[in-house]
């Protein structure tokens, strides 16, 4: 079953009642994803962390997610073999459901789709590149995509586009005839070392600031494109990261997405997309944790009654529900704004950056808090692997750290709402 095929309606979970945020097609997409997660990912979830080094099991499941289930061709037009799903409101439901099963697999999937956002949405849509890349991603074999942005020497400098404006980008792109020559280094991007296509953030001249920002696709393998060993992390085993080296990498001139100034807009748009996606990646584990701890609290008896019937514990569970529902509702409202620039303005505006930062920062904090509180309620059982809460707890923590981290996220929010001028 792929996302593009209609399937019989499953019972809609109680936590999803936001009809104003869900079309019939969204419900089908959500239900199909939940069915896939419950049937394919949940039975093997506890084996994922032990497969971090070899990735044999993870690779098998990711093939089902990307190729068999159709995730990698989600944004491509139907005429090229894609599913033509470009509504981020629709995307959100699939993101949360996939992250509910395994957030690392969700990240690897979302980042594959993420790299096509700049050439799908108007006014920078590139039919020529969509047609070309569809030959890779709309086939029967699974392929990963990678957005290569962060650099080792700058930390969150590139994500801090409102202040840095591209001046600290070290990865350079020099035009020679009909080719870009790329030199530099990237660190921590998802799917690095295993991707078939890298959307790379470069500069043609750091002194030009935003006018020098260039987004350029680099296919793999390409001469001069090399990788270091994979990072070993606390969680997110299915999300592979390694340092990338670009040594005189040559790609066609047409692989640059847009041009001076326009690529800066698209980098902002990519950050907005990443923020909204991160919200879903955070809320999914929180939702599943809430399901687990509620079941536990219904069955665990203390002082003659289930622990959820003790008022102190009921209050903790209520706070979890409040946090999850408010985070989900706000993330969906920002996704709706993204889908309707004709009403809310450009997708790369400072307002969209700030609002998407709220969605990401709040949801990431919710994910960490809910998984932590669940362990408090479950005691040692919450810390043991058979219950899966500790897995979500380890996995979801990184959502606070990426895309510049929670501190830069809050800074972008304050810049817009408080009109900061000095930072």
**Two tokens at 123?**
């006014």
Q: Is the pLDDT of residue 9 over 50?
A: no
The pLDDT tens digits of the residues spanning 325-378 come to: 999 999 999 999 999 999 999 999 999 999 999 999 999 999 999 999 999 999
Q: What is the pLDDT of residue 421?
A: 82
The pLDDT tens digits of the residues spanning 10-52 come to: 333 444 445 567 888 899 999 999 999 999 999 999 999 999 9
Please indicate, yes or no, if residue 378 is contained in any of the structural domains.
yes
Please indicate, yes or no, if residue 71 is contained in any of the structural domains.
yes
Same domain, 280 and 414: yes
Q: What is the pLDDT of residue 46?
A: 93
Q: How confident is the model at residue 153 (pLDDT cuts 50, 70, 90)?
A: confident
Q: Among the three residues 137, 156, 179, which one is the final residue of a domain in this structure? A: 137
Angle CA 47–52–57, to nearest 5? 50
Please indicate, yes or no, if residue 3 is contained in any of the structural domains.
no
Please indicate, yes or no, if residue 6 is contained in any of the structural domains.
no
CATH of the domain at 59: 1.10.540.10
CATH of the domain at 393: 1.20.140.10
Same domain, 109 and 199: no
Please indicate, yes or no, if residue 13 is contained in any of the structural domains.
no
Summarize the confidence of residues 180-195 as an average pLDDT: 97
Q: Is the pLDDT of residue 422 over 90?
A: no
Same domain, 297 and 272: yes
18 versus 210: which is more confidently predicted?
Answer: 210
Residue with tokens 């809310």: 344
Mean pLDDT of all residues belonging to the chain? 93
Please indicate, yes or no, if residue 234 is contained in any of the structural domains.
yes
Same domain, 112 and 154: no
Same domain, 296 and 408: yes
Same domain, 41 and 83: yes
Q: Among the three residues 137, 171, 192, which one is the final residue of a domain in this structure? A: 137
The pLDDT tens digits of the residues spanning 48-64 come to: 999 999 999 999 999 99
Same domain, 302 and 379: yes
Q: What is the Cα–Cα distance from 411 to 423, expressed in whole angstroms?
A: 8
Q: Torsions phi, psi of 224, nearest 5?
A: 95, -5
Residue 290: CA atoms inside 13 Å, Cβ hemisphere, count? 26
Long-range CB contact pairs, 79-87, < 8 A, 24+: 80/130, 80/131, 80/134, 80/138, 81/134, 81/138, 81/139, 82/134, 82/138, 83/2, 83/3, 83/4, 85/3, 85/4, 85/29, 86/120, 86/121, 87/26, 87/339
| Structural domains counted in the chain | 3
Please indicate, yes or no, if residue 307 is contained in any of the structural domains.
yes
CATH of the domain at 210: 2.40.110.10
The pLDDT tens digits of the residues spanning 110-151 come to: 999 999 999 999 999 999 999 999 999 999 999 999 999 999
Full domain range(s) for residue 375: 262-418
Enter the pTM of the model.
0.93
Same domain, 306 and 396: yes
Same domain, 159 and 131: no
Same domain, 266 and 414: yes
Q: Among the three residues 255, 280, 298, which one is the final residue of a domain in this structure? A: 255
Same domain, 92 and 209: no
Same domain, 297 and 411: yes
Please indicate, yes or no, if residue 2 is contained in any of the structural domains.
no
């Amino acid at each position: 079953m792929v996302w593009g095929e209609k399937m019989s309606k499953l019972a809609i979970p109680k936590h999803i009642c936001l009809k104003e945020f869900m079309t019939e097609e969204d419900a089908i997409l959500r239900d199909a994803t939940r069915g896939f997660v419950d049937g394919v990912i949940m039975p093997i979830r506890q084996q994922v962390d032990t497969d971090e080094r070899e990735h044999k099991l993870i690779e098998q499941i990711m093939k089902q997610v990307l190729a068999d289930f159709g995730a990698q061709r989600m944004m491509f037009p139907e005429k090229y073999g894609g599913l033509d799903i470009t509504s981020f409101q629709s995307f959100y439901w699939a993101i949360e459901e996939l992250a509910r099963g395994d957030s690392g697999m969700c990240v690897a999937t979302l980042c594959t789709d993420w790299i096509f956002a700049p050439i799908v949405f108007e006014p920078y849509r590139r039919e020529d590149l969509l047609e070309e890349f569809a030959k890779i991603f709309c086939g029967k074999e699974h392929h990963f995509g990678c957005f290569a942005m962060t650099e080792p020497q700058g930390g969150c400098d590139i994500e801090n586009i409102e202040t840095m404006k591209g001046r600290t980008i070290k990865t350079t792109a020099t035009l020679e005839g009909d080719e870009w020559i790329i030199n530099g280094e990237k660190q921590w991007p998802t799917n690095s070392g295993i991707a078939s296509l890298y959307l790379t953030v470069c500069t043609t001249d750091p002194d030009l600031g935003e006018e020098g920002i260039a987004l350029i696709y680099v296919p793999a393998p390409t001469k001069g494109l090399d990788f270091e060993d994979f990072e070993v992390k606390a969680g997110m085993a299915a999300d592979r990261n390694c340092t990338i080296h670009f040594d005189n990498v040559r790609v066609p001139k047409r692989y640059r997405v847009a041009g001076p100034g326009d690529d800066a807009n698209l980098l902002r748009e990519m950050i907005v997309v990443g923020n909204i996606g991160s919200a879903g990646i955070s809320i999914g584990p929180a939702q599943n944790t809430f399901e687990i701890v509620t079941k536990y609290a219904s069955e665990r008896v203390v002082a003659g009654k289930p622990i959820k019937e003790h008022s102190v514990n009921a209050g903790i569970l209520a706070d979890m529900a409040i946090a999850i529902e408010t985070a989900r509702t706000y993330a969906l409202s920002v996704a709706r704004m993204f889908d309707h620039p004709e009403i809310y303005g450009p997708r790369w505006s400072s307002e969209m950056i700030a609002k998407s930062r709220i969605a990401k920062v709040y949801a990431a904090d919710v994910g960490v808090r809910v998984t932590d509180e669940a362990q408090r309620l479950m005691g040692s059982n919450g810390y043991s692997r058979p219950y899966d809460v500790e897995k979500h707890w380890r996995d979801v923590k990184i959502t606070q750290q990426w895309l510049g981290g929670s501190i830069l996220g809050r800074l972008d929010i304050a810049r817009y709402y408080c009109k900061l001028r000095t930072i």
